[in-house]
Amino acid sequence: MSDPIAAVVDAVASTAPDVREGLVGRRTYEAGANPSGERQLEADVYADELLEARLLDIDAVTGYASEEREPVVRADGEGQYFVATDPLDGSSNLRSNNAMGTLFGVYDGTLPASGDDLLASGFVLYGPITTMVVARDGVVTESVIDGDGSRRVVTENLTLPDEPTVYGFGGRVPQWTDAFADYVSEVESELKLRYGGAMIADVNQVLTYGGIFGYPGLRERPEGKLRLLFEGHPIAHIVESAGGASSNGERSLLACTPEELHERTPLFVGHETYVDRLEAALSR
Ligand code: F6P
């Protein structure tokens, strides 16, 4: 039997050029909102529909869940894998023509699930070039995706660099809790700010230069902004597989199971020393 996880990765990679080309002319908002109440761009819906069709076309995939739609979509066959995606993470960057990405996780079993049920995860980054990072069996691989959807591996075993350099934290500063603000004032004297407003692009800076990215729980929104299943689990799986750590402020995001598909979570990923200090600061 062919490798079903590889089939999912291939499907996302071969869809990436279509998503990228489809961005042009899909920069306006749809009438509706996604299940989290965020306005959807035409490009969000386009990427979601492309991925739904191509991932459910894989025999081994029985369910498709996305940040852009309410329920899990089931296939007719007898596959056992579920794929959760954020089809266009950071799509509010489309208007200003900045980076964004596609994020996915492959789960062995029904959703919602624990991050420990992830078999593989990955993202496509639509930057000046299109790259793909995939984590599987504890190994992270970075490839460049060409215009025809083919991939060239550029980093065989991607790990966080030894020295942390950059940080990026989301949320308006007056909305940060005192404990988090105190932590940030330590971090900003040690690392350099890099924040672009698309999680995948910001985390890729951490994977490349080392450091920490986070979107904390806020005063008026303690649950934070990012979704555990669609953003938290896959990005935590990638960063932990690359030798880093993840946290919801208390424990690894991979140890968390959402009660609902679209549940939000505070999210932190990066060098273990910075994640450990963050957890200590928030527990004070
Ligand atoms: O929807 C998620 C997202 O676009 C992330 O990719 C990003 O980290 C965050 O929202 C940006 O939020 P804000 O605009 O509040 O900085």
Global confidence as pTM: 0.97
Strands 192-193 vs 245-247: parallel, antiparallel or unpaired? unpaired
> Which protein residue's CA is at the shortest distance from atom 15 of ligand 1?
171
Level-2 CATH architecture, domain 166-282: 3-Layer(aba) Sandwich (3.40)
- Whole-number average pLDDT of the chain: 96
Residue range(s) occupied by CATH 3.30.540.10 in the chain: 4-155
* Alpha carbon of 22 to ligand 1 centroid (Å): 21
CA 135, 274, 227, 118 dihedral sign is positive
Please tell me the number of Cα atoms within 13 Å of 264 on its side-chain side.
15
- The pLDDT of residue 200 is 98
Q: Does domain 4-155 have CATH number 3.30.540.10?
A: yes
Q: Is 225 annotated as a binding residue?
A: yes
Token pair belonging to 124: 């496509």
> Which protein residue's CA is at the shortest distance from atom 8 of ligand 1?
199
**Beta-carbon count within 10 A of 26 CB:** 19
What is d(CA 19, CA 192) in angstroms, rounded to the nearest whole number? 32
- The atom number, within ligand 1, closest to the CA of 171 reads 15
Ligand 1 site, residue 89, Cβ cutoff 6 A: yes
From first CA to last CA, the distance across the chain in angstroms is: 52
- The pLDDT of residue 32 is 84
pLDDT per residue of the chain (284 residues) written in tens, 0 to 9: 589 999 999 999 999 999 999 999 998 888 789 999 999 999 999 999 999 999 999 999 999 999 999 999 999 888 999 999 999 999 999 999 999 999 999 999 999 999 999 999 999 999 999 999 999 999 999 999 999 999 999 999 999 999 999 999 999 999 999 999 999 999 999 999 999 999 999 999 999 999 999 999 999 999 999 999 999 999 999 999 999 999 999 999 999 999 999 999 999 999 999 999 999 999 98
Ligand 1 site, residue 199, Cβ cutoff 6 A: yes
Ligand 1 site, residue 215, Cβ cutoff 6 A: yes
- The pLDDT of residue 76 is 87
- The atom number, within ligand 1, closest to the CA of 91 reads 4
Residue range(s) occupied by CATH 3.40.190.80 in the chain: 166-282
Query: With 0-12 CB in 10 A as exposed, 13-18 as middle and 19+ as buried, what is 194?
Result: middle
What is d(CA 39, CA 192) in angstroms, rounded to the nearest whole number? 31
What is d(CA 85, CA 230) in angstroms, rounded to the nearest whole number? 5
Query: With 0-12 CB in 10 A as exposed, 13-18 as middle and 19+ as buried, what is 28?
Result: exposed
Annotate 33-51 with DSSP letters as a single string.
E-TTSPEEEHHHHHHHHHH
- The pLDDT of residue 254 is 98
- The pLDDT of residue 77 is 81
- The pLDDT of residue 163 is 97
- The pLDDT of residue 97 is 95
